[in-house]
Each structure stands twice: as structure tokens, then as C-alpha cells.
Amino acid sequence: MSIEFLLTALVIVASPGTGALYTIAAGLGRGRRAGILAAFASTLGIVPHLIAAMLGIAAVLHASPLAYDLVRYGGVAYLLYMAWQTLKANGTLRVEASAETSVRKVLIEGILINLLNPKLSIFFVAFLPQFISPSDPSPLLAMAGLSFIFMLMTFVVFAAYGVFAAAMRDRIIGKPAVMAWMRRTFAAAFVLLGVKLAFTER
């Protein structure tokens, strides 16, 4: 494993995206536990894409416009749904004073956020092989190792986002104007990510 891989992976993981956005929203609205759960769920949502990349399924997805579009527009629809839920006072970004949360709900939402993004599968097909030597006797094993490191980095960075967001809850609870502004901001971010996914070519 090279320093180039670690640095590149860190930049990719730390860059704002749907998983990071959802983790921050969960931490702000429902506390540290929800933020960490959201980070874990978003990380789990990467697993099918890594498996698809390792098994070559991503190449089929890339070669089939219909399959790609089905997954892509499913992802767009889900992001728009998340935007709508975020705008609602009792939706994704609701602030709960007790910081209680539904483990099942957070896990499902977090997994779907990354699962319904076909670009991830194609990304891993293009990204991971660059750091595997052509002479490696076990390329799949090497790819699995790099995938594990990438997922671990994803969880750690996202969990940090969630914990930091949870620490900011006290500044938000009891301030309806601030919450209304944040709901609109997060909803707009989900919409923009959905539009970006809709117009992203294979």
C-alpha cells in the first residue's frame, strides 16, 4: 500500500458527497449515536460497489446503458426524496432533544444513499487497479485489502463529521429560524447532488 493511495483515498473520502451530507444531517438532528450509525451505514453502502468492481459486474453496468440508467435514476429519485424529507419538520433533519433514534431507519437510509449511485462501482473499477502491481500474484486479494482500507477511512472520516455535527446540536435546538435555514440548505444540497447524478454520463 502506497502513500499515494492513502492520500488520494483521503481526499476522495473527505470530499463532500451524499454519504457525508447524510451523516452530518443525522448528527445534527439526532445526536452522536445517529451520526456514527449513519457513517457506518454509508460505509456499508459502499460494499456492494466494491464487490461489483471485484467481480467485474461494474464493467457490465458500464457497458449496459439501460442497467446504468435504471440504477442512476433510482439514485436520483432517492436523493430527491431525501430532499423532501429534509424540508419536513419531522423529516431527516428533525432535531430531537432526547437524541433518540431508530437504528433501523438510519441504517436503511444511509445504505441506500450510497447503494443507489452507479458511479461508485465504475469509480472503483478505475480507481483501485491503479494501485495494484501488474505482477501481483493475487490481484483480487490486493484489491480486497485496498477496499478494506478505503472503507475504514470512509467510516472514520464520516464518523468524525457526525460527531462534530452532534456537538453543534445545542446551538440549534430551540432556534426555529436556524433550523428552517439548515433544512432548506441541506434539501438544496440533496437536490444538487441528484441533478449532478442525473446528468453524469457513464
Ranking 74-83, 89-98, 146-155 by mean pLDDT, the lowest is 89-98
- Could you tell me the pLDDT band of residue 39, with boundaries at 50, 70 and 90? very high
Closest Cα to residue 197, out of 71, 52, 83? 71
End-to-end CA distance of the chain: give it in Å, rounded.
28
Take residue 44 and report the three cell numbers written for it: 456499508
Most confident of 32-41, 139-148, 175-184: 32-41
Q: Is the pLDDT of residue 71 over 80?
A: no
Cα–Cα distance for residue pair 29/74, rounded to 1 Å? 26
pLDDT at 165: 87
Distances (CA, A) of 173 to 50, 96, 196: 38, 8, 32
Q: Which residue has the higher pLDDT, 126 or 107?
A: 107
pLDDT at 159: 94
- Could you tell me the pLDDT band of residue 32, with boundaries at 50, 70 and 90? confident
Q: Is the pLDDT of residue 107 over 60?
A: yes
Q: Per-residue pLDDT averaged across 68-78, rounded?
A: 73
Instruction: Indicate the number of domains in the chain.
Output: 1
What pTM did the predictor assign? Answer: 0.72
- Could you tell me the pLDDT band of residue 48, with boundaries at 50, 70 and 90? confident
pLDDT at 155: 94
Cα–Cα distance for residue pair 149/38, rounded to 1 Å? 19
Average pLDDT, the chain: 76
Percent of the chain with pLDDT over 70: 73
Secondary structure (H, E, C), the chain = CCHHHHHHHHHHHHCCCHHHHHHHHHHHHHCHHHHHHHHHHHHHCCHHHHHHHHHCHHHHHHHCHHHHHHHHHHHHHHHHHHHHHHHCCCCCCCCCCCCCCCHHHHHHHHHHHHHCCHHHHHHHHHHHHHHCCCCCCCHHHHHHHHHHHHHHHHHHHHHHHHHHHHHCHHHCCCCHHHHHHHHHHHHHHHHHHHHHHHCCCC
Distances (CA, A) of 189 to 28, 77, 131: 15, 14, 32
Q: Is the pLDDT of residue 75 over 80?
A: no
pLDDT at 60: 59
pLDDT at 80: 79
Q: Which domain holds residue 138?
A: 3-10+17-198
pLDDT at 57: 62
Q: Per-residue pLDDT averaged across 158-185, rounded?
A: 78
Cα–Cα distance for residue pair 185/25, rounded to 1 Å? 11
